[in-house]
A and B are shown apart, each in its own frame.
Chain A
Amino acid sequence: MGTIAAQQMQAISRQTIEDFLYEEAALLDEWRLDAWLDLLTEDATYEVPATDTPDGDPKTTLSLIADDITRIRSRVHQLLGKSAWAETPHSRTRRLVSNVRIREVTEENIYVTANFVVYRMRFEQIDTYVGRYEYTLVQRGGALKIRERKAVLDLEALRPQGKVSIIL
């Protein structure tokens, strides 16, 4: 990667990152999941660690979600189909993303953290998911893409939420 590209990486602003994360949140809240898939790289991963092991490595620790791109695509396919009963009909969601921070920029990657609150409305219950995002973003042809996406819950347990059936 040349010097000019590296400079472009260094110059990336928080506003650019925030715009990207807000767009991602809108796609997910609007259930435009195929468009959301387009934000991911070919080797993207999506993780939600277990609530009592937020730093757990899915290879050695039981998680809630640890998807490679194949599983992510299958998950989206299921959610847009008719037999994901937990999301049929779709729940309403509203994501609040804040405290966006660029933690590190290397030649390849932009490491970003943010806070989230995701409200999920279904059968007149509101389930609230609170936590932080850890993203590894990359630049692909002038656009930002997600290579790693982790949602670390601050909840001590999925009580009363009971499940993570949406894309957190």
Chain B
Amino acid sequence: MGNVALEDLVIDNTADGLFRVNRRVFTDPSIQELERQRVFERCWIYAGHESEIPSPGDFRARTVAGRPVILARGSDGQVRALLNTCTHRGALVCWQPAGNAKSFQCPYHAWTFSNQGELIGVPGEDAYSAAFDRRELALAHAPRLESYRGFIFMSFNPAIEGLVDYLAGARDYLDLVCDQSEVGMEIVGGTQLYSMRANWKLLVENSIDGYHAPVTHQRYFEFLVEMGVDSARSRRTGAGRSLGNGHAVIESAPASGGRPIASWAPHFGEAHKGELEAMQRQFEARFGPERAYRITQTNRNLLIFPNLIINDIMAITVRTFFPRTQDYMDISAWALAPIDERPEHRALRLDNFLTFLGPGGFATPDDVEMLEACQRGFANREVEWSDISRGMKRAHPLTNDELQMRAFWRKWHELIMLSQAAEAPVRHLVAV
């Protein structure tokens, strides 16, 4: 780490209103190793959605926190995060990215595991002594797995608090997403898998950053004006909030890019106008005008610490990302939608998604460019600090202030300094 102690990586000076992050946190490989142990192995990490594995036998094999994992719904209906490594000599036992299976057979020596992880087949088992016990050789699984309204999290920390407690104030914001359907939400087919040549924490910041929108995304707002959106609607109001435990959100209105639920924009076409108004009225009947307005008219960018972003904006994207090295991250992004969404509306949602979101949209590529530009700039090691002080003296920080990032950094810093996982993380409603 050179001569910067962990305590000094973040300067949190509320008296003067200055917040600084030492840029070593984006470039130093030893920090990445600390993050592996003290962040990714201590927290609840998003693994997938129940809708991706709806039936017994369904599975998704993916990399989570650097590990090949099989997210599997067993024949008993229970979801497990099986660690995708044969308990014999280590090979991956599941080589398909998705499917339905009663068992997984390792292609190396044909050891066979049930979809619940039990070792059910060993060729030539008579070669082993009495000490060989199949029950000890089941596929390992993440010690904790819980889901909240379809969102499945896993943890390598056996002592972690329950998921609902962990979610703290973020739970209410997940509810604003999940309440958009009485039947439930589902992940839509088709995954946006991409990467950035940048540190993963830059994408945390970027995903909940209101300040950059008019500049980085100038071409998107020009597109909206081209499509007939009144440019005054781009001037939003809203708040940045800390939700406890490192979670944070920015919430704003009006939604200039439209919302499938439920705010019309000119590029939707007249045909959808009445339908969206009717939808709005249905939500008012279900929830009352105030909550209905929040659900249907406000955009929210939500961070679930450490690395789950749920942006409920011109469509809903679920985005998770992990560091491969300190200057490279892998990102997976999905669309989330009501299970009972009508086909024409689903098509509208997916179309609106692509106006902004994803590596081919009119916005995400420019975010990728900005974060990669930051990472290249970090080679100037003499410039030690990033400034994240915006709005520190405001009683009610705005979406284009940086409180939401300070919430992330304060939690990150707390965990990085904590060498013993046994200490219960302190949860406090944090200063601005």
Contact = CB atoms under 8 A, between A and B. Distances in A.
B335 interface: yes
Interface in A93-147: 123, 125
Interface in B123-179: none
Interface stretch (B48-56, B253-261, B345-353, B400-408): B345-353
A65 B267 CA distance: 17
B351 A52 contact: no
Nearest to B195: A159
Interface in B356-395: 358-362, 364-366, 368-370, 372, 376
Given A62-B188, A62-B335, A164 B195 contact: no
A60 B196 CA distance: 27
B369 A85 contact: yes
B192 A163 contact: no
Given A48-B360, A63-B350, A83 B189 contact: no
B404 to A, nearest CB: 23
Indicate the member of B360, B369, B376 with the most A CB atoms within 10 Å: B360
Interface residues on chain A, size class: 35 or more
Contact of A157 (B188, B194, B197): B194
A48 to B, nearest CB: 6
B191 A162 contact: no
B354 interface: yes
Interface stretch (A10-18, A19-27, A30-38, A74-82): A74-82
B209 to A, nearest CB: 15
Nearest to B370: A85
B219 interface: yes
Contacts of B361: 65
Contacts of B227: 70, 74
Given A53-B189, A163-B194, 14 more contacts: A51-B191, A53-B191, A56-B190, A58-B351, A59-B343, A61-B190, A62-B189, A63-B360, A66-B350, A83-B218, A84-B365, A85-B366, A85-B369, A85-B370
